Amino acid sequence: MPDTTEQSAPRAKRPTRAQRREEILAAATRVFGSKGYHQGSLVDVAAQVGITHAGVLHHFGSKDKLLWEVLEYRDRVDVQDLEGQHIPGGMDLFRHLVTTARQNAGRRGIVQAYAVLTGESVTDGHPASTWVAERFAVLRGEISQAVRELADERSVTLPEGEPERAAAAVIAVMDGLQLQWLLDPEAVDLAAATGFAIESILTATLGSTVRITNP
Amino acid sequence: MPDTTEQSAPRAKRPTRAQRREEILAAATRVFGSKGYHQGSLVDVAAQVGITHAGVLHHFGSKDKLLWEVLEYRDRVDVQDLEGQHIPGGMDLFRHLVTTARQNAGRRGIVQAYAVLTGESVTDGHPASTWVAERFAVLRGEISQAVRELADERSVTLPEGEPERAAAAVIAVMDGLQLQWLLDPEAVDLAAATGFAIESILTATLGSTVRITNP
DNA sequence: CCACACTTACTTACTGGTTAGTAAGCCCGC
DNA sequence: GCGGGCTTACTAACCAGTAAGTAAGTGTGG
């Protein structure tokens, strides 16, 4: 017997299409994050929203498309968090990276989702592989640009390919630390280790001590 | 009609139990490497050896046990490659790490298997998670010890927790670079970037320039 | 040296479970 | 009253694991 007296809640009625899609995307992020894409099923996702898996397919057509929208959704949320709505450059970028690491230590789910999908994406023909590869490429571009800016500020001439090498190393250390932290949070201080590693790489690249001050 | 004249070849007859198990382990490494553990099926593994999936289960009992043996097999092969049969310490360890990275650039399959399984292992209740976590713990122990040795050699006193932080960063950067390299081999020079990053971290930790000379 | 007993290495066939995706229809709210 | 949101019901594929049978090898007693 459904309770029809329920009407004080703002929307016990029916969620709009946009609301439902958002709910499903959030649920899918959790499911793909905790179980991976292949092991996480549409039934799992649907259950979290309180519908059947066919309902999910009604909104997204296929599991692959759902994954795609989850990834775009994550990007959108990330950009939203960035109040300025634009990616900072120079030293601000590295400050932002360390800040993100500190925030990440408090939201295991997101970190797990990212780690699982990234790992899975190196399998042959994985639907997320191009997304992850492009993401890496964009990040390398932004970070190497920031490294060049810092070098210019300090009038340092860098060897050919050095900014790119440093950028790849910075991204690598962040991802790798997340893996270790997920498997053993006691053993790794995510924020501290990330800050330390990025400072190390920048110091070695620029030839003089670099400190990333807390904003 | 089987050719009984064939006897110059050591075994056209029937492979021994040990031989078959080895074949299956190699096949499973390839399959789990290219498809992941969950997506890679026993049928896939069996097909590569030319038997049925029940034959695989005859030798290994269950898929979980097969994975376990694959991981131990990988360890065994790695140790075999190390001619001294023992893990080096001090600067030799870091030389060994860079050498490994250089070798890895020529064996994509192994790197892929490691990356996929590590990523998958952070999912809830994954059969490989304890193995990966322990592997990380052991590596952190060995590398932080090597860092302490280098510090002693140079009469440097390190802050509390610094060797562990450096060790985690070194492992992280190796894993992270592998991911980027797998997704875009053109964009990342695995050996060069690994050497650069490790040198950076050691230099920052020890306070003086560290170079890892080619053996 | 060979027959008989036994073991090993599988295969075939099946079970129970889970999966993504499809089709058709119901029902609520505008 | 009708259309979008959803369910129920289904399919076809695939999965790990089990059971039972078979052929080929191995060891042994005579």
Q: What is the pLDDT of residues A108-154, one digit of tens each?
A: 888 888 899 999 999 888 999 999 999 999 999 999 999 999 999 99
Tokens of B106: 């020529």
How do residues A191-203 score in pLDDT, each as one tens digit? 999 999 999 999 9
Alpha helices in chain A (DSSP H): 17-35, 42-49, 53-60, 63-81, 90-104, 108-121, 129-153, 162-183, 190-206
Tokens of B163: 């060797």
Judge whether A94 and A196 are in contact, CB under 8 Å: no
Q: What length does chain A have?
A: 215
How do residues A19-48 score in pLDDT, each as one tens digit? 889 999 999 999 988 888 999 999 999 999
Q: What is the pLDDT of residue B47?
A: 94
- Taking contacts as CB-CB distances below 8 angstroms, the residues of chain B near A136 are 179-180, 183-184, 187
Tens of each residue's pLDDT in chain B, 215 residues: 333 333 333 334 556 788 889 999 999 999 998 899 999 999 999 999 999 999 999 999 999 999 999 988 887 876 666 665 677 888 999 999 999 999 999 988 889 888 999 999 998 889 999 999 999 999 999 999 999 999 999 999 999 999 999 999 999 999 999 999 999 999 999 999 999 999 999 999 998 888 988 65
Mean pLDDT value across residues A178-184: 97
**CA-to-C1' distance for B13 and D25, Å?**
10
Cα distance between residue A182 and residue B172, in whole Å: 12
Q: Is A148 helix (H, G, I), strand (E, B) or coil?
A: helix
The residue ranges of every structural domain in chain A are 14-84, 87-215
CATH number of the domain at A14-84, please? 1.10.10.60
Cα distance between residue B103 and residue B84, in whole Å: 17
Q: Which CATH architecture has domain B12-83?
A: Orthogonal Bundle (1.10)
B120 reaches A (C-beta below 8 A): yes
Judge whether B195 and B98 are in contact, CB under 8 Å: yes
Smallest CA–CA distance, residue A108 to chain B, in Å, is 11
Q: What is the pLDDT of residue B12?
A: 43
Please name the residue of chain A whose CA is at the shortest distance from the CA of residue B137: A187
Higher pLDDT, A57 or A124: A57
Q: What is the pLDDT of residue B7?
A: 33
B201 reaches A (C-beta below 8 A): yes
What's the one-letter identity of residue B171? I
A110 reaches B (C-beta below 8 A): no
